[in-house]
Amino acid sequence: MSSMGLPAAENLLETKEINERTYSLDGKAQHHHIHKVGIPPKQNLFKEFKATIKEAFFADEPLRHFKDQTKLRKLVLGIEAIFPILSWCRNYNLKKFRGDIISGLTIASLCIPQDIGYAKLAHLDPQYGLYSSFVPPLIYAIMGSSRDIAIGPVAVVSLLLGTLLSDEIDPNKHPEEYRRLAFTATFFAGITQATLGICRLGFLIDFLSHAAIVGFMGGAAITIALQQLKGFLGIRTKNFTTKTDIVSVMKSIFETAHHGWNWQTILIGASFLGFLLVAKFIGKKNKKYFWVPAIAPLISVVLSTFFVFITRADKHGVDIVRHIERGINPSSVDKIYFSGEYLSKGFKIGVVAGMVALTEAVAIGRTFATMKDYQLDGNKEMVALGAMNVVGSMTSCYVATGSFSRSAVNFMAGCQTAVSNIVMSIVVVLTLFFLTPLFNYTPNAILASIIISAVISLIDFEAAILIWKIDKFDFIACMGAFFGVVFISVEIGLLIAVSISFAKILLQVTRPRTAILGKIPMTYVYRNTQQYPEATKVPGVLIVRVDSAIYFSNSNYVKERILRWLVDEEEQIKGDYQTKIQFLIVEMSPVTDIDTSGINALEELYRSLKKKSIELVLANPGPVVIDKLYTSNFANLIGVDNIFLTVADAVAYCSPKMAEDP
């Protein structure tokens, strides 16, 4: 075979022909044409860096709409990009408004009782839950791009915020300082979310895997339900644990069993919990009755409040809400900590709460966008969510985000645009002005029942079973997050979820898969022999595929794994008296990149093979890889004759050479 040591600048499409004859599938002799691997032209360093940055942060080409537009049009498009409402409102009509007003009223009936309950989860007065369903949804309606997300406080974030804040300040002893820290955390949650969106770093939230989220949500649901047992059972003791783990909560509950439980409270809570679960079952069984579980919480609040009022059950030990502040959100700009010891604490809590809230909102938005077949800009969503929480922190709100339950009801009720959030906000503000006195006699047990019935749906058994079937490591991440939340704390569960997700990434990067390839009968196709048992190995040739980029983190492992494949194959050959291995072909199609450590590993592999009189051959290295192989002079080291476009070409080259050997 003639030498292929041609300079890179020569015609890369030149072909060479092997004089030895190979055979087609029908057995007729024919010449096999072998193509050289193309070497991409050298890139300008600045252009290459620019292309890399563009692909990392601007893969969706956010400025493509601005091309070839006038300055005025670019200004209009820029304003519409920040405030999407200006874009879609031009096509708004009465039909869409009808759908939005129905869905807005429906989610308002669901959110009002939930907000009062979720505020208690965050250890805040009930009105702060309502405040958080007034201002943030209005800001989101102006800046958000999802048509279906219903904005407001959610159970998981409320619990997380309440747990982290109460670790720093006792909400009962220092309520004013506690509220200030809550507003500070909300401010920094918004700053975190907006920064991720502006800097286009939304991919960071993808490091929290789906499996970890399923486990975290399930654990949080159980923790939230356990926390509600105090109100559900009518326990009034001040010594009830502030910890969230199942052992501490159950211990406190049983310690108060003889003197702390109130049977009237249990009767109210159990009756209405049963009603709520039946309503949820009806809605799940028949989608036409989606409104039944949506209005059931409000009906429960009205009936239980009326019952307590006429029977004066509060005189017999039934805890009630008592007082909710009337009026619109007061300003809280002067209450945010911008200095002092609580600044750093508020920042840390805000970052954690902001990331969790963002993960939930983006997951919801993507789900409904897929169902309605429209595109959702994740970075715009982050900016919108961040802006609404920053503004919210200045108007006495705590962290708000997209709610799974409310968004599902919003979708089922036929929402068309974000106007449904505006309708909900109007209902909430009317409630704050005129209806708050009606909640004075609302029993805490009914709020506990509403929260318990709401969080049950966060425990996704089907998803956990599917995760077990698909990926056992994912299941470990899921269960790690679940048990971490249930048995230790919410923040530890979250840390475990993130840690296991990162561990999975590191394991996949440092221990990439490799495979032995064989020839599929009657074809020139070479595939994994484990996946295709009928694939036959080529005598005297070992074909290995590396299924990953080769970096400093895995280069040594890749080299050693290939050598182990070689040792295993040689031992098998000795037993079967087959042809000795003379060629090692490395299939490099999946190798998207290689660094200097990877090239050093290939050089060490080459030297190890040379001592064994085995020739190293490469098949189909990609453009980035082949460029680096030539730049590092590795291509010349092994011989450019030993680099082929396909495995079939490499085998065609090796077979005649084996025939020449004595």
pLDDT bucket at 656, cuts 50 / 70 / 90: low
Predicted local confidence at residue 546, as pLDDT:
93
- The structure's pTM equals 0.78
Span 185-190, mean pLDDT? 96
**Nearest CA-CA partner of 629 in 1, 40, 13:** 40
- Rounded distance, CA 119 to CA 175, Å? 13
* Tens digit of each residue's pLDDT (9 = 90 or more) over 570-588: 888 776 556 788 999 999 9
DSSP 610-650: HHTT-EEEEE---HHHHHHHHHTTHHHHH-GGGEESSHHHH
Predicted local distance difference test score (pLDDT) of residue 255 = 81
Query: 598 falls in which pLDDT band (50, 70, 90)?
Result: very high
Above 80 in pLDDT, residue 32? no
What's the confidence (pLDDT) of residue 176? Answer: 94
126 closest CA partner among 402, 428, 449 = 428
Hey, what are 86's tokens?
């200006």
Candidates 606, 601, 555; CA nearest to 583 is 606
- DSSP symbol at 562: H
When pLDDT is averaged across residues 520-540 and rounded to a whole number, the result is: 90
Share of the chain above pLDDT 90, in %: 37
Residue ranges and CATH numbers for the domains of the chain are: 98-323+332-503 (no CATH), 512-660 (3.30.750.24)
Task: Name all contacts of 288-294 with Cβ < 8 Å and 24+ positions apart.
Answer: 290/409, 290/412, 290/413, 291/106, 291/413, 293/409, 294/106, 294/107, 294/109, 294/110, 294/409, 294/412, 294/413
Q: Using an 8 Å Cβ cutoff, are 474 and 504 in contact?
A: yes
What is the end-to-end Cα distance of the chain in Å, rounded? 18
Contact 187, 435 (CB under 8 A): no
Name the pLDDT band for 43 (thresholds 50, 70, 90): low
654 vs 587, higher pLDDT: 587
40 touches 647 (CB < 8 A): no
Nearest in space to 656 (alpha carbons), one of 583, 570, 574, 588: 583
pLDDT digits (tens, 9 = 90+) for 272-308: 999 999 998 898 888 788 888 888 898 999 999 999 8
Long-range Cβ pairs for the range 456-462 (8 Å, 24+)? 456/221, 456/225, 456/277, 456/280, 457/280, 457/404, 457/405, 458/155, 458/156, 458/217, 458/218, 458/220, 458/221, 458/404, 459/217, 459/218, 459/221, 459/222, 460/214, 460/217, 460/218
Higher pLDDT, 62 or 226: 226
Rounded distance, CA 169 to CA 612, Å?
69
Confidence of residue 54 (pLDDT cuts 50, 70, 90): low
Task: Report whether 213 contacts 204 (CB < 8 A).
Answer: no
Checking if the pLDDT of 507 tops 60, the result is yes
pLDDT of 94 over the 50 cut:
yes
pLDDT score of 49: 65
Mean pLDDT of 203-213: 77
Which helix or strand (DSSP H or E) is residue 23 part of?
A: strand 22-23
pLDDT score of 158? 93
Report the amino acid identity of residue 469.
Answer: K
Q: Mind listing the pLDDT tens digit for each residue in 251-271?
A: 888 887 777 788 888 899 899
Helices H / strands E in the chain, number of each: 26, 12
Unique residue bearing structure tokens 């809280």: 332
- Give the pLDDT confidence of 453-501 residue by residue, as tens digits: 888 888 888 999 999 999 888 898 899 989 998 998 888 888 888 888 8
Residue 17 has a pLDDT of 37
Q: Is the pLDDT of residue 644 over 50?
A: yes
Residue 64 has pLDDT above 80, yes or no: no
Which of 112-126, 354-368, 456-470, 573-587 has the least mean pLDDT? 573-587
Q: Hey, which bits of 307-351 come out as E strands?
A: none
